[in-house]
Copies of this chain bind each other. A is one copy, B any other.
Amino acid sequence: MTINEIAEMAGVSRATVSRYLNDGYVSKQKAERIRKVIAETGYTPSVSAKLLRSNHTNLIGVIIPKISSDSISRMVNGISNVLMAEGYQMLLACTNNNEADEVRYLKTFSQNNVDGIILFGTVLTQQHYETLKEISCPVIVLTQKVKGYSCIYSDDFHAGCALGRIIGKTAKNVGMLLVTDKDIAVGINRRDGLIQGLRECNVSVDSKNMRITNFTMESGYAMAKDLFKESPDLDTIICATDTIAAGAIQYLHEIGKSIPKDVQVSGFGDSTLASALTPTLSTIHFYYEEAGKEGAELLLEQIRSEGNPVLKEIQLAYDTVIRESTR
């Protein structure tokens, strides 16, 4: 079924059918004839042909570091809802934390003429910046603050402060399970916020009691073990994510430490995991779904106002969620 056949069947020109489909600037009678033919044939216009002319694809590329993450899937969910509602489709690329793949997908998406890109930032290299510059469509960055681009991020620093202030009240010997400081939001901001909050309670953390994990439960377990080999008398383990905390808790169970009596533990992110753990995990709640929603809306706004780029930075709120794993 093409517009030509419809036109012929309705006894009008294809231009009229096109107008019927778009402006609607058609006489009552012809409109009715066209309507009928379309209904009978079940004709739907070719998307490719339409796009060849209009030069936009209604496709949005979304690049995420991994798919099996509670926080990421919540954000993607927020994005997806907005996009679908607005008639856009979501192209999802997963890099499995491979920075080079991030750059690669950035290029692929750009070549495929997506109307916009949402990049979940983790570590942003020089490569990233160069590729971003070459890209013609709007890009917005999620979870990291990056100059020159619209971005949505959480207030990791102050969330860390808030959590640090609470935990600091009942902490003496603190160990920290962190992530690479190449990740500004999670690696640096959370750490610095926590340290600042603890300091306000006159608690300091010796750098020998800090470990870098790679975001996984296994690595949380391993580094907790390592930490206790170094300092067996730790009474507090602060983790950069809930997943890491889950690994730490596993280890503490294993060596028979009671949580929070012997050792208190905290996470970050308020994942499903956090309330399923025993004891339930004290953590920071971020409005991830909201972040995704805002991100998608911002992108759409940017797409629609082509020419005058609307650069915006949106910082989302957080809540401290105190459960059973802290004293």
**Measuring CB to CB, which residues of chain A are less than 8 angstroms from any residue of chain B?**
44, 46-49, 51-52, 55, 57, 59, 66-68, 70, 73-74, 76-77, 80, 84, 89-94, 96, 108, 111-113, 217, 243, 246-247, 249-250, 253, 272-273, 275-278
Contact = CB atoms under 8 A, between A and B. Distances in A.
B276 A113 contact: no
Contacts of A77: 66-68, 94, 96
Contact of A91 (B44, B51, B91): B91
Contacts of A84: 93
Nearest to A90: B92
Contacts of A246: 276
What DSSP secondary structure best describes chain A's contact surface?
helix
Contacts of A91: 59, 89-92
Contact of A52 (B49, B59, B96): B49
What is the copy number of this chain in the assembly? 2
Contacts of A113: 46-48
Contact of A112 (B47, B68, B249): B47
B275 A276 contact: no
A52 B50 CA distance: 9
A102 to B, nearest CB: 13
Nearest to A69: B73
A60 to B, nearest CB: 10
A252 to B, nearest CB: 10
Contacts of A111: 44, 47
Nearest to A52: B48
Given A47-B112, A91-B89, A276-B277, A67 B57 contact: no
The 10 closest A-B pairs by CB, nearest first: A278-B278, A68-B73, A246-B276, A92-B92, A48-B51, A67-B73, A48-B52, A44-B111, A47-B112, A80-B94
A94 to B, nearest CB: 5
Contacts of A80: 67, 92-94
A253 B273 contact: no
Contact of A272 (B57, B76, B92, B217): B217
Contacts of A112: 47, 89
B277 A278 contact: yes
A73 B76 CA distance: 12
B278 A253 contact: yes
A52 B316 CA distance: 42
Contacts of A47: 57, 111-113
Contacts of A57: 47-48
A112 B111 CA distance: 18
Contacts of A55: 48
Nearest to A58: B112
Contact of A90 (B93, B217, B253, B276): B93
